Structure 1
Amino acid sequence: MTQASAETPQASAPLQAGAPILRRQNLRLFVSARMAMTFAMQMQNVAIGWYVYALTNDPLSLGLVGLAQFLPAILFILATGHAADRFDRRHVVIICLVAQALASIALLPVIFSASPKVWPIYAIVFALGSARSFSQPALAALLPDIVSLDAFPRAVALSTSSLQAATIIGPAVGGLLLAWNGVALFCLAATLNAIAAPLIAGVTARPARRDPNEATGLKRLLAGFSYLRGNRFLLGAISLDLFAVLFGGVTALLPIFARDILQVGPAGLGLLRSGPAMGAVIVGLILARHPLRRSVGAIMLWSVAAYGVATIVFAFSTSIWLSVAAMIAFGGFDMISMVIRQTMIQLGTPEAMRGRVSAINHVFIGASNQLGDFESSVAAVFLGAAGAAIFGGVGALLVVAFWAWRFPELRRADRLE
């Protein structure tokens, strides 16, 4: 397994390995901002999915929402990574937060007009996806400048579990606000993004070091791809996530399960959307306290396999409580893979190209989530929602088996550092 680069930065007055992870103000500000951003995004996604499906009654339209969110990450991949490595990462995030707040406000006259159309919603969702495609690599590359090397795995687990806590509350509040007042929902989303901006501005981070010998022009833009191509573990880990979630994801189908199969309405939809985050928070807090020590590759493979099994259980369920339990397991197993992957990417990547590698990872995550939403909605057209979920769970299991054979580095990986 690749060792952490000697260039990996450590924040001044670093946290000791056994110290309380939230003792530093920088990390508190960072985590609070990410929670506010995620709360707004998840709450708003519930509403967008509900309104789009209400306008079209077409499962494919839900997949198009996911596609509109994901396409900017592909179209702008070279620019997003370059921005995170070239400019102050805090400034990049702040500009994106302002753009997302404005986009939330722009949804109001579109959705609540006398004769709403679906295509302007897709256009605004594309704008939201564009802003996130720039902010996510910058955020990921910023975290290692806030905590020390030895505390970083715990910081990743805590940051991710805090983010998932917002993902629990966001959809639940979104479902309740959607049932009460949709206008208030979008106004709250805009306000939360506006609040996150000064929190990020308050983070103190040492300016990223530049490699004076680094290539320029197109070769510099493509350096992240070259680095990943030479690192079999990282390439296998992020591609495993891409294809497993591409098949196993069921998020786009949740409005169909909530309305047509489980018949639980908007509030039930919010509960289902919160389920994966509940599992992720539980697992994340455990990992923040007890980080993984050995056999991390095998643990990651087994956790992705269990993720596929949870998808199949969800597909067969006709009970809201069994469905929520399956979603909790779904999120918990996904969290294990996420922590391993994120820790190795940030610790194993030279500081000067961390933004570009994070941008590629963001595309892989976006591909797995957004294209997964599109795949599951297309499958639902032909197989029905439950059939599409079964197909996805079985596909995830097959992906794990193939990756365990094709990337033996994953099976052999032992330690995170």
Structure 2
Amino acid sequence: AFDGPASQAIVPQLVPSPIFSNAVKWNSSTMQIAFIAGPAAAGWIYAMSGRPETVLIVVAAMRLASFLLVALIRNRTERLEASLMTLKTLLAGIRFVWDKKIILGTISLDLFAVLLGGAVALLPIYANDILKVGASGLGMLRAAPALGAALMAIALAYLPPLKRAGETMLACVALFGVATILFGISKNFHFSLLCLFVLGAADMVSVVIRGVLVQVQTPHEMRGRVSAVNLVFIGASNELGEFESGLTASWFGTVPAVLIGGLGTLAVVGIWYRLFPEIRRFKRLEEPMY
């Protein structure tokens, strides 16, 4: 609740503005690599030790490393005037997001796209009943989106800055929906892996664009509160998306639930294209508009 907004808000003050978008790309890529390597490393460490106390030792080491890394951060040169904490200041982030239509449209697009296209929650059913690949296949299915996201994040870090960021984001969310539909109807394990790989890669483009856009379009003094609102949207989309997938699967079946989610994602893209023209008009990520 505190670490997430603070971590996001401090990034623009650690790197110069011209390379901020590249910093977000590298940050996203390292996170995805951690998502892939972390469980594997944890399993190897636990297998080597065979003792439950290993978990406590690893957590303590992580906390110590975090403390040392935070201690290396240089003090901020820009001083912001502190204001009295009131209900008005607490709600200022929500009001800012509501008034700033490009931010509202961007984070709500991600909310509804992930809410409807949450096929990942149904991967155990696909692995066991549809693709019949067992536990090892399930592990590969779960790793495919993260692998696609990690490779895409690294590619984005090397590619030139996007010149039509808004349209690119809409296109990638639409691709996310198409990949979800193709995965839903697939009966081939390798094609399903490809669909999930593309799904993860498309989602990473959207994540990077949203992450940069929200930061550069927000004044310094509002970044923490706006980041908190953004994290609420992200958390809600992930958790409610899994609930929606399970609910629709119980009502209509697993494959129809995934198809409905993918079609719903495409519908959201079409509606947001008309409802938030600010998104499609947005060009370069590095251009602040506040």
Alignment counterpart, residue 141 of structure 2, candidates 260, 268, 272: 272
Give the conservation status (yes or no) of the 8 Å contact 1:239–1:364.
Answer: yes
2:81 is equivalent to residue 211 of structure 1: yes
2:5 is equivalent to residue 134 of structure 1: no
Q: Which residue of 2 aligns with 1:255?
A: 124
Change (3 A) 1:267 1:407: same
Alignment counterpart, residue 274 of structure 2, candidates 392, 395, 405: 405
Q: Which residue of 1 aligns with 2:156?
A: 287
Alignment counterpart, residue 17 of structure 2, candidates 149, 154, 157: 149
2:114 is equivalent to residue 245 of structure 1: yes
1:349 counterpart SS class: coil
Q: Which residue of 2 aligns with 1:373?
A: 242
2:206 is equivalent to residue 340 of structure 1: no
Deviations 1:160-185 (A, max 9, x none): 011111222345667x77xx97x969
Residues 222-237 of structure 1 aligned to structure 2 (within 5 Å):
222-237=91-106
Change (3 A) 1:321 1:241: same
Give the conservation status (yes or no) of the 8 Å contact 1:253–1:376.
Answer: yes
Q: CA deviation at 1:360?
A: 0.6
TM-score by length of 2: 0.88
Change (3 A) 1:215 1:159: same
2:169 is equivalent to residue 169 of structure 1: no
**Paired amino acid for 1:162:** T
Q: Following the alignment from structure 1 to structure 2, what is the Cα–Cα distance between the partners of residues 331 and 395?
A: 18
Q: CA deviation at 1:233?
A: 0.8
Give the conservation status (yes or no) of the 8 Å contact 1:172–1:274.
Answer: no
Q: Which residue of 2 aligns with 1:383?
A: 252
Change (3 A) 1:273 1:134: farther
Q: CA deviation at 1:361?
A: 0.5
Unmatched 5+ stretches in structure 2: none
Deviations 1:96-122 (A, max 9, x none): xxxxxxxxxxxxxxxxxxxxxxxxxxx
Q: Following the alignment from structure 2 to structure 1, what is the Cα–Cα distance between the partners of residues 227 and 182?
A: 33
2:161 counterpart SS class: coil
Alignment counterpart, residue 166 of structure 2, candidates 274, 292, 297: 297
Alignment counterpart, residue 27 of structure 2, candidates 156, 159, 182: 159
Q: Following the alignment from structure 1 to structure 2, what is the Cα–Cα distance between the partners of residues 354 and 185?
A: 43
Q: Following the alignment from structure 2 to structure 1, what is the Cα–Cα distance between the partners of residues 242 and 50?
A: 27
1:211 counterpart SS class: coil
Q: Following the alignment from structure 1 to structure 2, what is the Cα–Cα distance between the partners of residues 319 and 187?
A: 42
Give the conservation status (yes or no) of the 8 Å contact 1:168–1:273.
Answer: no
Alignment counterpart, residue 360 of structure 1, candidates 223, 229, 246: 229
Deviations 1:233-288 (A, max 9, x none): 11100000001111011121112112222222222222111111111111111111
Q: CA deviation at 1:297?
A: 0.5
Q: CA deviation at 1:195?
A: 3.1
2:17 counterpart SS class: coil
Deviations 1:349-402 (A, max 9, x none): 222221111111011111111110110010110122211111100000000000
Give the conservation status (yes or no) of the 8 Å contact 1:297–1:413.
Answer: yes
Change (3 A) 1:170 1:313: farther
| Number of aligned positions between the proteins | 280
Deviations 1:283-321 (A, max 9, x none): 111111124331111000000000000001111112221
1:162 counterpart SS class: helix
Q: Which residue of 1 aligns with 2:64?
A: 198
Q: Following the alignment from structure 1 to structure 2, what is the Cα–Cα distance between the partners of residues 359 and 277?
A: 24
Give the conservation status (yes or no) of the 8 Å contact 1:304–1:337.
Answer: yes
**Paired amino acid for 2:282:** A
Q: Following the alignment from structure 2 to structure 1, what is the Cα–Cα distance between the partners of residues 81 and 219?
A: 10
**Paired amino acid for 1:408:** P
Unmatched 5+ stretches in structure 1: 1-132
Q: Following the alignment from structure 2 to structure 1, what is the Cα–Cα distance between the partners of residues 4 and 178?
A: 29
**Paired amino acid for 1:226:** R
2:181 is equivalent to residue 315 of structure 1: no
Percent sequence identity is: 44
Change (3 A) 1:185 1:412: farther
C-alpha RMSD over aligned residues: 2.4
Higher alpha-carbon deviation: 248-257 or 237-246: 248-257
